Structure 1
Amino acid sequence: MALIRFKLEIQPEKQVGVSSMNILSKSQVQPERIEFVDALRGFALFGLLMVHAAEAFGVGLSRGTDDPWGQAVFFLFGSKAFAIFALLFGFSFATIMANQRARGVDFTKRFAWRLFLLLTIGFLHSLLYSPEILRLLAFLGVLLIPLDRVRSNYALLAIAGLFFLQMPLLIQWLLAHWGNAFAASEPYYSSSGLWDVFRNGSLGALISANLVEGNLVKWSINWSFGRVSEIAGLFAVGVVIQRTGFFASLAKDRVIALALVVIGGTIFAILEFIVKPLVPGSPSGVEFAIGPFTERAILFQWIGISGIAALIGFLALLWNSPVQWLVGLFRGPGRMTLTLYVAHSVIAVPILYQFGLGMAEVWDTQQRILLAIAFFGLQILFAHWWYARYRYGPLEWTWRAATLNDWKVPLRKHSQSA
């Protein structure tokens, strides 16, 4: 099988495709993009919007799971869209480093600066919408720098496996089992008053709460559910995927795509429909139990990982079919994810939150999801219009220029590089 023949060897870096994060000096020609990767990134952006719409961007939070529309969204995209983003973040980092290394440039310090800029953008964004993901990706992105020094792909996969074992959660569980009260305590986010501010606070109260409490809650959620270790593992896998040219092969090989669908889908089905019902949760109204909570957190990680494998394989099959245009619709947004992601909350929060129009109390889950789909359709049209005229999205250009400390980076397509 083609999947078995696929070797974990580093491909010639000049052949590697380029993601939307690629950094090039003005005098160099941009290598060919892997358009399937753009489509994957756009699909992940769409998935995040669907999840946020089901949650009313934090106002409803769990309400989206109380009806079939919310359940469908979380089944398709919950813990999966975010994981695809993390995977592609590692892929994009490796693309940047490989392209620069091929030119004899050590881009490590510049990439660290790039992460700091993304962290800053994420922090400003979090003042309006604290559940946002940019801060987390930027902060944990520092791990990619030492991972880049590991030249063996097998070693990187072993490191990813260690991260996926969720050792921090297991250590916490052991400490709780041995009587440590702090380790056994309910997660910080569960008793936070941040949700009340989301529902009823003024804009000033929202910004003030997001400044400190929002960050504490964000890290509590991501630590408690094992996302910190999961993201680190997905980063490492993303680096291997870039080095081996896997996405380029996947976009052309139906056998590999079908294998992903079958293997990933089978594991997902077993975990979701057989194992998950057997793993007890912590019912509402009873004392928090660290054991079942940890078990479900680890289980959800593997459900998400197997789910994204099946999703990526399925999208690759569509990419190699007469309906490639359907997956291709996500390419434009996939090149402008930073701009469009920030735009989601900049537009939705004032509409949904009480300090604005307060529509979270008016629209039900179905209405929010349908409106979000229509909104994403407009973003597809906007991205198509924009890239017919410009090289980068607005925030993408700003991030790129600030990374290079060169504000003469051409934006319009008719501009000529110096």
Structure 2
Amino acid sequence: MNQPRASLDRLDVVDILRGFALMALFLVHIIESYELFWATEKPGIISETVFALFMGKSFSLLALCFGFSFFILMDRAAARGVDFSARFAWRLLILFGIGFLHSLIYRGDIIQTLAALGFVLLLVNRVRSNRLLLAAACFCFAGPSLIVQLVAAASGAAWANGVALSSVDPGMPIYLSGDLWQVLRVNLWQGQQSKYWFFVEYGRLVQILGLYLLGLVLGRTRFFEDLARSRGWRRVALPLAAGGAVLMFLLREPLRLAFATLGYGAAAERACWALINMWLDLAGTAFWALLVIALYDGRARWLVQPLAAPGRLTLTFYILQSAVFVPLFYGYGLGLYDDWNAATRLSVGLAAAALQIGAAHWWLARFRYGPIEWVWRVLTYRSLDIPFRRNAPSA
């Protein structure tokens, strides 16, 4: 039976957003040599441009899509008269396990964090008021944890004025010169600590929760299902988001310097800088989301349509990217982190992104799911009766 056109379009535009976020995040990873850039940092116009455009924004778009995907699963199950809550919790546990295995290769894995925070969605889904959820999302976007850190540090609180725990990184020397076994061992726990402290100290956890809530509300209000309904306000919101992102980018350094003159100390300055950058990332996220949607909803759809295919294979490609490029950059592999300059890394990243887009279209012409997506689905439903090939009958 054919699906309603609105349903197809809704899923298509979300796949495109997810595919855009995946490719943008991949370019960030390539430019930062899968984190090794920060060990021998060499700022330049290429790296600074890619970071300014996509760092923090691509990650946020994936979190937004995650919140929407939760709604889709719960809504479809409810339409069949099924409560999907328990199975979604099981699905999150499986995803957490996949993320754990991936984090052994690349400690910058975000799958574990997204899966762990996904349990909050099961709780907030019981709140029926969209206005209340939006208010909670806005509260998260205000950066409450960073504001608390800033005020506490400025007030002289000892706990807030210590050294940033995210700056203590026992993993980096291993990534630069250790063997594969040492990398796997340090990523089991020690190497992960700085990442999770970064999420806490820089407000990322609260930001993700806000994006989850926003994605849930977008699903409930059928935003992606009927884009025509939002064209009016989106035409206004797009230039506002672009202007806000540019303004925040231009003002963040003057604001940092102005705050530093107040003499509240390094910890307060760090919290202030993190707060400014979080708002910049949110403005950039809004801009990219609105721009991609505008292109999809207009005559330029052909520009973004190719991203739908990799958007349906996000989990497989995200892990495959690490499996291929981490050994290229890390010491136990080819150690190219200090051999390739930014221009070379960008060229390789763009070529690899194009290759992934082509491979995604080839794969989906023959298979229904990516291999990891299929395994995730099989484990979720605890059944092998899920077709993998295109010519296989639907279960």
Q: What interval of TM-score do these two structures reach, taking the shorter chain for normalisation?
A: over 0.9
Calculate percent identity across the aligned residue pairs: 36
Per-residue CA deviation, residues 265-289 of structure 1 (Å, 9 max, x unaligned), is 1221222213542223999xxx971
Please, which runs of 5 or more residues in structure 2 have no aligned partner? none
Per-residue CA deviation, residues 21-60 of structure 1 (Å, 9 max, x unaligned), is xxxxxxxxxx775211111100000111011111100111
Q: 2:246 is matched with which residue?
A: 269
* C-alpha deviation, 1:165, in angstroms: 2.6
User: For the Cα contact (< 8 Å) 2:166–2:201, is it kept in 1?
Assistant: no
Q: 2:91 is matched with which residue?
A: 114
Distance 1:355 1:33, change over 3 A: same
Q: 2:128 is matched with which residue?
A: 151
Q: 1:71 is matched with which residue?
A: 48
* C-alpha deviation, 1:122, in angstroms: 0.5
Secondary structure of 1:183's match? coil
Distance 1:281 1:407, change over 3 A: farther
1:342-381 matches, within 5 Å, as 342-381=319-358
Distance 1:266 1:33, change over 3 A: closer
Q: 1:165 is matched with which residue?
A: 142
Q: 1:186 is matched with which residue?
A: 163
Please, which runs of 5 or more residues in structure 1 have no aligned partner? 1-13, 19-30
User: For the Cα contact (< 8 Å) 1:252–1:320, is it kept in 2?
Assistant: no
Q: Which amino acid aligns with 2:199?
A: N
Q: Which amino acid aligns with 1:261?
A: L
What is the rounded CA distance, in whole Å, between the counterparts of 1:320 and 1:390 in structure 2?
28
User: For the Cα contact (< 8 Å) 1:257–1:314, is it kept in 2?
Assistant: no
User: For the Cα contact (< 8 Å) 2:252–2:277, is it kept in 1?
Assistant: no
User: For the Cα contact (< 8 Å) 1:279–1:292, is it kept in 2?
Assistant: yes
Distance 1:146 1:348, change over 3 A: same
Q: 2:206 is matched with which residue?
A: 229
Q: Which amino acid aligns with 1:230?
A: Q
User: For the Cα contact (< 8 Å) 1:36–1:247, is it kept in 2?
Assistant: yes
Q: Which amino acid aligns with 1:393?
A: G
* C-alpha deviation, 1:128, in angstroms: 0.8
Q: How many residues are matched?
A: 391
What is the rounded CA distance, in whole Å, between the counterparts of 2:157 and 2:275 in structure 1?
21
Distance 1:282 1:353, change over 3 A: farther
Q: 2:24 is matched with which residue?
A: 47
Match of 1:245 among 222, 241, 248: 222
What is the rounded CA distance, in whole Å, between the counterparts of 2:271 and 2:176 in structure 1?
29
What is the rounded CA distance, in whole Å, between the counterparts of 1:260 and 1:179 in structure 2?
40
181-190 or 333-342, which deviates more: 181-190
Distance 1:152 1:52, change over 3 A: same
The alignment's TM-score, normalised by the length of structure 1, stands at 0.88
What is the rounded CA distance, in whole Å, between the counterparts of 2:163 and 2:5 in structure 1?
46
User: For the Cα contact (< 8 Å) 1:126–1:132, is it kept in 2?
Assistant: yes
34-43 or 253-262, which deviates more: 253-262
Per-residue CA deviation, residues 162-193 of structure 1 (Å, 9 max, x unaligned), is 22232223333333344332321121121222
Distance 1:281 1:232, change over 3 A: farther
**1:304 lines up with 2:271 in the alignment:** no
Q: Which amino acid aligns with 2:43?
A: D
173-182 or 223-232, which deviates more: 173-182
Q: 1:382 is matched with which residue?
A: 359
Match of 1:208 among 185, 194, 201: 185
User: For the Cα contact (< 8 Å) 2:10–2:224, is it kept in 1?
Assistant: no
187-196 or 404-413, which deviates more: 187-196
User: For the Cα contact (< 8 Å) 2:223–2:230, is it kept in 1?
Assistant: no
* C-alpha deviation, 1:96, in angstroms: 0.7
What is the rounded CA distance, in whole Å, between the counterparts of 1:191 and 1:402 in structure 2?
37
The alignment's TM-score, normalised by the length of structure 2, stands at 0.93
User: For the Cα contact (< 8 Å) 2:146–2:272, is it kept in 1?
Assistant: no
Q: 1:255 is matched with which residue?
A: 232
User: For the Cα contact (< 8 Å) 1:128–1:349, is it kept in 2?
Assistant: yes
User: For the Cα contact (< 8 Å) 2:67–2:213, is it kept in 1?
Assistant: yes
User: For the Cα contact (< 8 Å) 1:156–1:237, is it kept in 2?
Assistant: yes
Distance 1:158 1:288, change over 3 A: same
Q: 1:294 is matched with which residue?
A: 271
Distance 1:298 1:330, change over 3 A: same
Q: Which amino acid aligns with 1:47?
A: A
Distance 1:92 1:50, change over 3 A: same
Q: Which amino acid aligns with 1:240?
A: V
Q: Which amino acid aligns with 1:361?
A: D
What is the rounded CA distance, in whole Å, between the counterparts of 1:197 and 1:280 in structure 2?
35
User: For the Cα contact (< 8 Å) 2:249–2:280, is it kept in 1?
Assistant: yes
**1:340 lines up with 2:317 in the alignment:** yes
* C-alpha deviation, 1:254, in angstroms: 4.5
Match of 1:57 among 16, 22, 34: 34
